Structure 1
Amino acid sequence: MANNTGNPVGSTAAKDLSDNAENLDKFANGDDYEYDDRLGRSRKSLKWIEDAALAIPAIDAAMRSEQQAERAIIAKSEAEAARDAAQLSSGVYGDTDEGLVKTPVGSFFSVPSPDSKQYLILYQNVAGTALEVDRYPNSKAIEDIGIEDQSTDVSGLVFAVVDDEGRRTWIEAGKDGRPSAHAAEKIGEVLTAENAPGLAEGVAAKAVDEVGIEALSTLNDLAFAVVDDAGRRTWVEVGKDGGPSAHAAEKIGEMLTVENAPALTEGVAAKAVAESIDAVGIEALSALNDLAFAVVDDEGRRTWLEAGKDGKPTQRAIDAIVKKLPGGLGEAPATYQSGVKGALGIVSGPNITCWGDSMTAGAGGGGTTYPAVLQSLLTAAGYTSTVFNRGVGGENAPTICARAGGNPFIALPVGGVIPATTTAFEIILQAINGQVTKPLMQGASSYTGRLGNVPGTFSRTVVDTVYTYFFTRTTAGAEVVANRPLPLYLDIGDQARDDITIIWIGQNGPNDVRAIQDAKAIIQRMTALDKRYLVISKPGGSSTSDVDDAAWFAEFGRRFIPIRQYLVKYGLADAGIEPTAQDITDMANGTVPTSLRFDGVHWLAPGYTILANIIFQRIIELEWI
């Protein structure tokens, strides 16, 4: 029950504190868009602000539509201007009588206008009669309405509003985000001490009550992205599930540190009443020199939605995000490292899981594997991350993807049921999108996991190179009808979903297109908002494989490591090995030098060591540790 004492802002009276606490609850947790503060003023709630943010896609679409319309208008204006110029060039005469005498029938002529705000009157000679066609304003008329002919250089503008004739209004923005010189001049011409008292007397601080954005009633598609004037992505993006996109999460994660987001490591202590309405996170907009994008209210005041010129959240946006983190979110798990930017599913890590085939397993390395070397590098640098080697020789991309749970194994019990007992029963693995998986051919002979919703062990037997697969439930229970294929997820895949993921697949087929699809499926399976992963190129091949690497880079960008090309150019130098004649031939063909290879594909220890160092440096570059 509100007390409404009427005491001024700053009061510490118990009743006022109680009213503030009640209002804070309405602001943060209420479903209404508005509530009255203890002084009786209407305020917007957090619910309103969240819904308002969802309106941005529609606003962005409207702006794009408006820009397209403006381009059409400008094109129309240019055509009409050319027409008018042609007509005017027909001749200017002292009066209509002279014009009729000197102008052929059907042609146009002009005479000076007697009106003080007009330049010329255009006539057409129609069978010896002067038919008025149009009148043209002079410079005084244009100046009076604040629009001038857009003949000056506008290459320094990123935004301009023109009239339906394509002429400039005062609404323009330069490439620095500020009003253009033209806009400043027009604004300056109309500002006076009377209509802009703030210029002479200063502007009193105002409470925040409106942000000028209306909530959308429906949104068929929640996905949207805010880009700068060059079409480049900022961090302000929403996925189709309504949450931040992976790109937005990455940008947020890159900026969150122990210093600017102590809640991530220390927990958020329960707070009493918020100091004032500034918890909404809007303040007077003083300058935007360092911003590439900012959402402001109808009075030009900043909201928390803004991005710096690097496309990342500003410090002010970070502070606003951290302020809104609930208390429990900041309780860090035991595995949290103080240097890691994020925790609790915000970013992947700190542990690292390496998925792959015999190359990840370290075939030919004499006991040296890149995951083991990477672990040594991390430990020596003081990091507590654990690196897991999930390489199994001979496996193709669909099989590795299934082990990781990206596209799980699909199994059909031979008997059409999962028995009630803990007796092993045969299952038949189904093709995954046309590709047969071949698990358990090397490495482990069994994995724990779950068939459908039933926990158990996935195993195999081998008789004359024929593999037969089985599943054994962990505990007895009710028989489950299973006359249709069921997903089979392995525990090792579930356990790795929170980790930084290294993916090295495709050498064993089936092809690059499918391998890229499987890599993306493994990434999609990761749980963090900011999914942190690296993808390694196939180790074998020659220069003809460069086109394959280009396809991988197109998908993964800086998170892709073209290791074959690197070893061709720098491998021997990094390993301190003098090239042989065969090495020189190999490098000319774009093949990993023989001195670094155990056989046609697999590497010796120096090759795996070089890869581990590249991964280590890339993880540091991307600020994942």
Structure 2
Amino acid sequence: MSDIESLQAYGGQLAEAAESATASAKKQHEYVNGDASTDVHTESGSVPSLAKQAVQGQEKVAAVLTEVASQLAGAATYDTTELGLLKTVDGGYFSTPSPAKKGYLISWRNTAGKAVYQDTYPNVTAIEEIGIEDQSSEVSGLAFAVVDDAGRRTWLESGVDGRPSVHAAEKIGEVLTAENAPALADGVTEKAIAGSLDAVGIEQLPELNDLAFAVVDDAGRRTWLESGIDGRPSAHAAEKIGEVLTAENAPALADGVAAKAIADSLDAVGIEQLSELNDCLSFSVVDEDGRRTWLEADREGKPTKRAMDAIVEGLPADVGQAPSTYQSGVKGVLNIVSGIRINGFGDSMTAGAGGGGTTYTGELQRLLTAAGHSIPVVNRGVGGENSVTICARAGGNPFIVLPVAGVIPATTTAFEITLQAINGYVPKPLMQGPSSYTGRLGQVPGTFSRTVVDNVYTYYFTRAKAGAEIVANRPLPMYLDIGDQARGDINIIWIGQNGPNDVRAIQDANAIIQRMTALDKRYLVISKPGGTSANDADDALWFAEFGRRFIPIRQYMVKYGLADAGIEPTAQDLIDMANGTVPTSLRSDSVHWLAAGYTILANIIFQRLKELEWI
């Protein structure tokens, strides 16, 4: 608990006492002034008024005396039990003086020559105190005490000095917390604790008749049980409370609060009394020596510049085992961002089919270089792949593999594997593009490859180094190195044209994004290039998921593609555009684009990177 919290806790204690005093005033009036038939209803049950207690006390005294008389009828009193046994017959009763301070007689029965204890009878002093529980030396000397109808002590007690008793102080300290005592706020000083509470806004009452409620002892001396007409503790009550509260009986005040912290305000605990800090900090943690740590928040709840500087200073060279960069953002906000390189994950559109060697990744690289950015752009497009396969290749949902022989051999010989379905769809990798990838099967590094015979694809894995044979009769994940290498990068995801459907393609895109390691994951998602206006609803699903990071490229190309390329629309182009299809003049076939189309996409991506302040 911080020192401010401790002080706030003590303030809450006073608020609690104030509320209690207001409620107690009425109860106390009934308690003191009620007649012999009045019961005062409290949280622990009904408590008889003082008048009623007096009547009940008299009745108890009479009952006790009657019982004493009946027990002692015909029974003589002797100085010792030995003498009593000598003077009585078997079955007879006798008594001896009680050695107890509040005892009168002890009753015995002569049973076969042995003194058998019967009861102890109180003296006048004890009888006068009937209704108040047996009191130890700790509570002797009380000027006032309230008990419930079972004789159990409450917290309402005062010593003869007018201060709360030890018992009362303990009970008050047990319930005081930062939540229920908010009055102890900034600026409480030693005077508020050890002197009076004038410093925290409890005014000095000029006249005793300004009190709404006060308890005095039988000598007319004021106790600490007082309430002002505003329902708050009087200055006298506050002073008496402050004198008995300690770290022991009020544990909410204990943590980190020392006498010097109170006497010298907050300087002693390391939070300087500077307007600069007061204005900018809403929270700060200091160590036991009062030194500020990096755990600080400004008035808006954000890390302070000092906190951010400490974070940057302690950050490693990479995060999550993938490279990341550190970049100071606007207003000093720290971002741990993607950005070692830009990867284009996708199918034949990413690979640049129909572009005559022009790809959007190549054009994007040219734009970045011309603008002075050295970040590399890597094309990871493979024709023919659906979203499930691309996602597995990127490591979002890895390939699930089962060795045909049920083992990973000890040698570096290729062994056949089968690819299992990933949530209902079996991926189909290595159909175009590379014929192998490096990666790891389970925890075994190696190479993933395939052969094709009569259009039948057979997949293999070859471990990189010989080792012990591993039983592998259950499916294992297989991650490719190209996916691991891209986790800290900016990733451009263009999937879904080859199926299986938009819902699954959105899920696969999200899986790729989730595996990215930067705290500020930077990515763009591009819509399917093919289709008509009927597919606008599909684009709406993607936008709902990715917002401004989604580029609906088909709709853009329909509206602006020809103008951006400087091409006059043909009759067929106009028909295409009316149908919501990318104009024929921008396509090499029904789906793939000519170079102009890929160049347009590169420009859109470049502008979006600038808009999002990633470059």
TM-score by length of 2: 0.52
Change (3 A) 1:194 1:279: closer
TM-superposition CA deviations, 1:439-475 (whole Å, max 9, x none): 0000000000000000000000000000000000000
Change (3 A) 1:324 1:386: closer
Question: Is the Cα contact below 8 Å between 2:322 and 2:485 reproduced in 1?
Answer: no
**1:614 paired residue number:** 604
**2:542 paired residue number:** 552
Shift of 1:583: 0.8
Change (3 A) 1:340 1:195: closer
Between the aligned partners of 1:515 and 1:389, the Cα distance in structure 2 is 20
1:580 correspondence with 2:567: no
Aligned residue runs from structure 1 range 81-92, under 5 A? none
Which amino acid letter does the alignment assign opposite residue 414 of structure 1? V
Between the aligned partners of 2:569 and 2:355, the Cα distance in structure 1 is 19
TM-superposition CA deviations, 1:334-382 (whole Å, max 9, x none): 9988978599992111311110000000000000000111111111111
1:322 correspondence with 2:322: no
Which amino acid letter does the alignment assign opposite residue 510 of structure 2? K
What SS class does the counterpart of residue 447 from structure 1 fall into?
A: strand
Which amino acid letter does the alignment assign opposite residue 320 of structure 1? A
Change (3 A) 1:591 1:193: same
TM-superposition CA deviations, 1:415-461 (whole Å, max 9, x none): 00000000000000001000010000000000000000000000000
**1:403 paired residue number:** 393
Between the aligned partners of 2:411 and 2:333, the Cα distance in structure 1 is 41
Aligned residue runs from structure 1 range 2-151, under 5 A? none
Aligned residue runs from structure 1 range 297-308, under 5 A? 304-305=296-297
Change (3 A) 1:364 1:336: same
Shift of 1:323: 3.0
**1:505 paired residue number:** 495
Between the aligned partners of 1:457 and 1:529, the Cα distance in structure 2 is 31
What SS class does the counterpart of residue 432 from structure 2 fall into?
A: coil
Between the aligned partners of 2:5 and 2:430, the Cα distance in structure 1 is 59
What SS class does the counterpart of residue 304 from structure 2 fall into?
A: helix
Change (3 A) 1:500 1:278: farther
Question: Is the Cα contact below 8 Å between 2:325 and 2:338 reproduced in 1?
Answer: no
Which amino acid letter does the alignment assign opposite residue 356 of structure 1? G
Between the aligned partners of 1:393 and 1:406, the Cα distance in structure 2 is 19
**2:485 paired residue number:** 495
Between the aligned partners of 1:280 and 1:489, the Cα distance in structure 2 is 56
Between the aligned partners of 2:492 and 2:516, the Cα distance in structure 1 is 12
**1:416 paired residue number:** 406
**1:458 paired residue number:** 448
What SS class does the counterpart of residue 346 from structure 1 fall into?
A: strand
Between the aligned partners of 2:559 and 2:527, the Cα distance in structure 1 is 15
Which amino acid letter does the alignment assign opposite residue 494 of structure 1? D
TM-superposition CA deviations, 1:214-265 (whole Å, max 9, x none): x9xxxxxxxxxxxxxxxxxxxxxxxxxxxxxxxxxxxxxxxxxxxxxxxxxx
Change (3 A) 1:344 1:423: farther
Which amino acid letter does the alignment assign opposite residue 441 of structure 1? M
**2:516 paired residue number:** 526
Question: Is the Cα contact below 8 Å between 1:425 and 1:470 reproduced in 2?
Answer: yes
Between the aligned partners of 2:309 and 2:464, the Cα distance in structure 1 is 43
Change (3 A) 1:592 1:498: same
Aligned residue runs from structure 1 range 413-452, under 5 A? 413-452=403-442
TM-superposition CA deviations, 1:459-515 (whole Å, max 9, x none): 000000000000000000000000001001000000110100100000000000000
Between the aligned partners of 2:497 and 2:528, the Cα distance in structure 1 is 5
Between the aligned partners of 1:578 and 1:607, the Cα distance in structure 2 is 15
Aligned residue runs from structure 1 range 343-358, under 5 A? 346-358=336-348
Question: Is the Cα contact below 8 Å between 1:423 and 1:473 reproduced in 2?
Answer: yes
Aligned residue runs from structure 1 range 156-555, under 5 A? 195=201, 277=270, 286=279, 304-305=296-297, 317-327=304-314, 329=316, 346-555=336-545
Between the aligned partners of 1:538 and 1:500, the Cα distance in structure 2 is 20
Between the aligned partners of 1:596 and 1:276, the Cα distance in structure 2 is 71
Between the aligned partners of 2:553 and 2:456, the Cα distance in structure 1 is 35
Change (3 A) 1:196 1:619: farther
Between the aligned partners of 1:595 and 1:515, the Cα distance in structure 2 is 28
**1:571 paired residue number:** 561
Between the aligned partners of 2:322 and 2:394, the Cα distance in structure 1 is 25
Question: Is the Cα contact below 8 Å between 1:408 and 1:487 reproduced in 2?
Answer: yes
Shift of 1:321: 2.2
Percent of pairs with identical residues: 70
Between the aligned partners of 1:338 and 1:348, the Cα distance in structure 2 is 9
Change (3 A) 1:567 1:453: same
Change (3 A) 1:282 1:324: farther
Q: 2:595 aligns with which of 598, 605, 624?
A: 605
Change (3 A) 1:475 1:327: same
Between the aligned partners of 1:596 and 1:555, the Cα distance in structure 2 is 28
Between the aligned partners of 2:393 and 2:500, the Cα distance in structure 1 is 16
Larger radius of gyration: 2
Q: 1:561 aligns with which of 551, 556, 564?
A: 551
Between the aligned partners of 1:400 and 1:330, the Cα distance in structure 2 is 30
Shift of 1:624: 1.1
Which amino acid letter does the alignment assign opposite residue 605 of structure 1? A
Between the aligned partners of 1:525 and 1:326, the Cα distance in structure 2 is 26
Between the aligned partners of 2:492 and 2:498, the Cα distance in structure 1 is 17
Aligned-residue Cα RMSD (Å) equals: 4.0
Shift of 1:331: 9.3
Between the aligned partners of 1:361 and 1:279, the Cα distance in structure 2 is 62
TM-superposition CA deviations, 1:29-64 (whole Å, max 9, x none): xxxx66xxxxxxx6899xxxxxxxxxxxxxxxxxxx
Question: Is the Cα contact below 8 Å between 1:396 and 1:509 reproduced in 2?
Answer: yes
Shift of 1:295: 5.5
TM-score by length of 1: 0.51
Between the aligned partners of 2:486 and 2:323, the Cα distance in structure 1 is 14
Change (3 A) 1:304 1:558: farther
Which amino acid letter does the alignment assign opposite residue 455 of structure 1? P
Question: Is the Cα contact below 8 Å between 1:281 and 1:304 reproduced in 2?
Answer: no
Which amino acid letter does the alignment assign opposite residue 540 of structure 1? G
Between the aligned partners of 1:387 and 1:400, the Cα distance in structure 2 is 18
Between the aligned partners of 1:460 and 1:194, the Cα distance in structure 2 is 81
Question: Is the Cα contact below 8 Å between 2:399 and 2:477 reproduced in 1?
Answer: yes
Aligned length: 353
The gaps in structure 1 that reach 5 residues or longer are 1-32, 35-41, 46-191, 198-211, 216-274, 288-293, 298-302
